[in-house]
Amino acid sequence: MLDKNQIAKRIAKEVKNGQFINLGIGIPTLVANYIPENLEVVLQSENGLLGIGPFPTEENVDPDLINAGKQTITMVQGSSLFSSADSFAMIRGGHIHLTILGAMEVSENGDIANWKIPGKMVKGMGGAMDLVASAENIIVAMQHCSKDGQSKLLKECSLPITGMRCVKKIVTDLAVLDVLPEGGFRLLERAPGVSVDEIKAKTEGKLVIDGEIPEMVFD
Amino acid sequence: MLDKNQIAKRIAKEVKNGQFINLGIGIPTLVANYIPENLEVVLQSENGLLGIGPFPTEENVDPDLINAGKQTITMVQGSSLFSSADSFAMIRGGHIHLTILGAMEVSENGDIANWKIPGKMVKGMGGAMDLVASAENIIVAMQHCSKDGQSKLLKECSLPITGMRCVKKIVTDLAVLDVLPEGGFRLLERAPGVSVDEIKAKTEGKLVIDGEIPEMVFD
Amino acid sequence: MINKTVKDATEAVKDVFSNSVLMFGGFGLCGIPENCLRALLLKDLTGLTCISNNAGVDDFGIGLMLQKHMVKKMISSYVGENAEFERQLLSGELEVELIPQGTLAERVRAGGAGIPAFFTPAGVGTEVADGKEIREFDGKLYLLERWLKADFSFVKAWKGDTAGNLIFKGTARNFNPMMATAGRITIAEVEELVPAGELDPNQIHTPGIYVHRIFQGEKYEKRIEQRTVSK
Amino acid sequence: MINKTVKDATEAVKDVFSNSVLMFGGFGLCGIPENCLRALLLKDLTGLTCISNNAGVDDFGIGLMLQKHMVKKMISSYVGENAEFERQLLSGELEVELIPQGTLAERVRAGGAGIPAFFTPAGVGTEVADGKEIREFDGKLYLLERWLKADFSFVKAWKGDTAGNLIFKGTARNFNPMMATAGRITIAEVEELVPAGELDPNQIHTPGIYVHRIFQGEKYEKRIEQRTVSK
């Protein structure tokens, strides 16, 4: 089983040179720590920045420079700043190559639910609905099962969805899976020490297993 | 009868303090020369400038600074530059208080025709359709009759129109007229030496004459 | 150039009335019009509709207006950081309309730009689409969304001039530029107010035409929600 | 930061193909991508659709592409200053689609911003409305207009950096920023190309994400259409 940092590390292997990437709050933010140094990528913050840098040192904290998670940040060389309307024009227009975000549920046709639990205080969708409706490639980072052991990879989402047929890949603590265009989760890799049978048992949606499933390799 | 500069001078009396104004090509451009110095107004150029200044001196000509008529210009203090999308957002959003433009025909319900003569080479509408569809106040500067003596203030436009029910006021070489909300040209002022009868004879559309019509007064 | 300067926040907000629709720039607590918010708190206002990406925190920003029961309705994309907000919402005192962040930004832009409606993919297939027209363009589904406008827009910029031209700094820009365009009356507060002509026309983010009143804010606390540093 | 630099105009336009859709920034002859236009003239291209507010003059700008019969269709708001244009149009060699200037600007912005359609008042009641959906919002009539996109967008900026960030100057900005967002491949030429990091992030007009290739133009003639001076 992978911990949060390992999930982030595995997702980082999906990043390609030259990409513009939006990282959601939580595990996705950790992905930035594992992107290989030889890749040139640009991280977008949907409140209005291209080129997120590392967190500032104590003396460089600037309250006028935060990311979408409201954390203080810095900018890398070559950054640009813009309004939220321009930022979402960028997102909606398909200019961001890769969006990585967390989820509460994903369905076998790629629907994602990550904004609302009926009966609980609803905080809002923020930019998630715009991001999932627009990005050409969406990778979800999440736990395979909820805390009470229920699968989060479902035939259909039980929670109100954030977007339809949009998730392309999922990295969980147990596995890496593609969402097939015709529906179904195709198992690609197992986490170290996790068996195919365990993944089968913990995946409620249709699971497609083609041949031998390798264990993930970390460098 | 007024010449072009006198038409411009008469229109300048309609300008109010604090207005943002778009001046079309031709006579409207001349209006800028007659705006009283004690009024603070801002002239917009729809290619992307608020704050048009006078024409430059020979040594200050900047090919990167032109108005919508493609003339070299200068900027006044406090100007701002923006894209054409932002410029027409400003126009469409109703932020320009007054638009002054030329016309080939105006109808008694306020339709304006000023972009196309069937059978002749069509150069295009430029920004005219956006301007007339958006401005809260539109004043037309034109000759009362065409060169062959036909009235240009008509029941209905004979030429393809640029915008519907939009003209509020017309200043011609003969008269100042309002377009009434219920239809019809209400005669407000006569040019010096021009009789009401002449204006009647040269106005094809419905002309409303209420009481004595004063001659225009120029300071 | 027309001088838009007013003396201070109190004068700037003098005619804000109960039951009006207000827009506030800012993302979280970053780039919010602190001085106008403080001045509004001193007024006897109720029934306000506030359009703002977030709702502040309990003791800062719009959160303080909630404490004083001035707000009838919030229109936001995310309202998570505010316990009083939650209490009022659950008790039915407060109405909330949640809008995807990009749709919110674009609806406000549309309000300023004279575009009454536009199609966006955000929310298709979700409850956000309920009751909205859905149409297919080039093989993809989109929702029809309407413009948003306000009686008063409150924005905060870094620098401004007496003609109302504004320059923002960092990610404090966020919703401020669009909201400046969508207010019937737009009130801008700035950290530094300079005479018209001192700002480079090429670097203006918000042209003065959108700003009806401008003043230099007395004090900027600039509270940080998540102070995150690297060692 | 990703380096978008290419050697020169010739390399920048190397894969432009016949029958493709091209966008050109500029208003009149102000802010046009002169170096790309020169490089395109040396290529054996036909059947192009050119989206540009104007069509140049006979011996400069897009006018030169018309002389070489490279253009099948112009999409513009005003095409008045070009005799060869008129000849080709009347002879049926050239097709032209005239669009109100603000609608053109907004359709291009929509193309870059992922908005497939929007409502605008421009053209209601005119022949521009023929065949288009008309709808009333809040008592006023609007037309539905579609986005515009291009295979290649050519834009000209004042300064740029190797990451593709652009800053425009004066009214040479005009259509360039939107067109930069609406090209599948966007090629920017600049008067001065600097290393990434030298431009203030706060002053960037076009973020580098929209620019796929950038180079410093060899020569800028910057021809003036109406040299008007005061004595």
The yes-or-no verdict on residue B10 having pLDDT over 90 is yes
Per-residue pLDDT of C189-226, as tens digits, reads 999 999 999 999 999 999 999 999 999 999 999 999 99
Bridge partners, A98 (sequence order): A21
N-term to C-term CA, chain B: 17
Query: Domain count of chain B?
Result: 1
The pLDDT assigned to D80 comes to 76
Q: Which pLDDT score is estimated for C78?
A: 95
Is B111 within the bounds of a domain?
yes
What residue type is A128 in one-letter code? A
Query: For position D82, what pLDDT does the model report?
Result: 81
| pLDDT digit string, tens, across residues D101-113 | 999 999 999 999 9
Which chain A residue is nearest to residue C82, measuring alpha carbons? A123
Look at the block and give the residue holding tokens 């038409």. B7
Neighbors of chain B with 3 or more C-beta pairs under 8 Å: C, D
Residue D90 binned pLDDT confidence (cut-offs 50, 70, 90): confident
> Does the pLDDT of residue C44 top 80, yes or no?
yes
Joined together, the tokens standing for residue B93 give: 């959003």
The single residue listed with the structure tokens 């700035």 is C190
Q: Rg of chain B's alpha carbons, rounded to an integer? A: 17
Phi first, then psi: give them for residue C110, nearest 5 degrees: -60, -40
The pLDDT assigned to C110 comes to 98
Is D201 in Cβ contact with A51 (below 8 Å)?
yes
Q: By C-alpha distance, which of A51, A40, A47, A48 is closest to A75?
A: A51
Model confidence pLDDT, tens digit, residues C73-106: 999 999 977 888 888 988 899 999 999 999 999 9
**What is the average pLDDT across D70-95?**
90
Nearest CA to B170 out of B206, B131, B142, B199 is that of B142
Give the tokens for residue C27. 């993302």
Collect all residues with Cβ–Cβ distance below 8 Å to C226 and sequence separation of at least 6: A66, A69, A70, A71, A72
Q: Which residue of C has its CA nearest to B80?
A: C201
| Contact yes or no for A78 and D113 at CB 8 A | no
Q: In whole numbers, what is the pLDDT of chain A averaged over residues?
A: 96
Overall average pLDDT of the D10-19 stretch: 98
Strand A98-102 with A138-141, pairing: parallel
Give the lowest-confidence range in C18-27, D82-91, D214-223. D82-91
Residue C230 neighbours by CB distance under 10 Å: 13
Contacts of C136 in chain D (CB under 8 A): none
Average pLDDT over residues D38-42: 97
Q: What is the pLDDT of residue B122?
A: 86
Query: Cβ C103–A89 below 8 Å, yes or no?
Result: no
Q: Indicate whether A43 belongs to any domain.
A: yes
At residue B219, does pLDDT exceed 80? Answer: no
Q: Report if residue A216 sits inside a domain.
A: no
Phi, psi of A89 (to 5 degrees): -65, -40
Question: In sequence order, what DSSP letters do the residues of A73-121 get, joined into one string?
Answer: --EEEEEEE--HHHHHHHHHTT---EEEEE-SEEETTS-EE-S--TTSP
Task: Look at residue B16 and tell me if it is in a domain.
Answer: yes
Side chain identity at D34, as an amino acid letter?
A: E
pLDDT of residue D85: 85
Neighbours of B187 (CB within 10 A): 20
Residues in A closer than 8 angstroms to D112, CB to CB, are 89, 93, 95
Query: Does pLDDT of B215 surpass 80?
Result: yes
For the ranges C133-147, D45-59, D76-90, D115-129, the lowest mean pLDDT is seen at: D76-90
Catalytic residue (choose from A14, A37, A40, A46): A46
Q: Collect all residues from C whose CB is shorter than 8 A from any CB in D.
A: 106, 110, 113-121, 135, 137-138, 140, 142, 146, 167-170, 202-203
Domains of chain C: 9-216 (3.40.1080.10)
Q: Is B46 a catalytic residue?
A: yes
Q: How many CB atoms lie within 10 A of CB C96?
A: 16
Residue A33 lies in a domain: yes
Task: State residue C231's pLDDT score.
Answer: 76
Q: pLDDT-derived band of residue A18, with 50, 70 and 90 as boundaries? A: very high
- Over pLDDT 90: what percentage of chain C? 90
- Nearest chain D Cα distance for residue C160, angstroms: 15
Evaluate whether residue A214 is within a structural domain: no
Query: Phi-psi region for residue A38, left (φ > 0), alpha (ψ -120 to 50) or beta?
Result: alpha
Section B184-207 average pLDDT: 97
**How are beta strands D150-161 and D140-146 bridged, if at all?**
unpaired
Q: How far is B101 from chain C (nearest CA, A)?
A: 21
Average pLDDT in chain B: 96
CA-nearest residue of chain B to C148? Answer: B93
Q: What is the pLDDT of residue A136?
A: 87
Nearest to D2 by CA among A65, B91, A40, B23: A40
Residue B194's alpha-carbon distances to A185, B106, B214, in angstroms, are 85, 21, 11
Contacts of C157 (CB under 8 A, 6+ apart): C166, C167, C168, C176, C188, C189, C190, C191, C205, C206
Give me the helices (H) in chain B, please.
Answer: 4-12, 27-31, 84-92, 128-134, 196-201
Rounded distance between C-alpha atoms, residue B38 and residue D191, angstroms: 41
Question: A65: nearest CA in chain D?
Answer: D202
3-state secondary structure of D206: strand
CATH of the domain at B36: 3.40.1080.10
Residue A49 domain-assigned?
A: yes
Can chain B be said to touch chain A, i.e. do they have 3 or more Cβ pairs within 8 angstroms?
Answer: no
| A119 inside domain | yes
pLDDT reading at A85 higher than 80: yes
Task: State which residues form the domain around A135.
Answer: 4-208
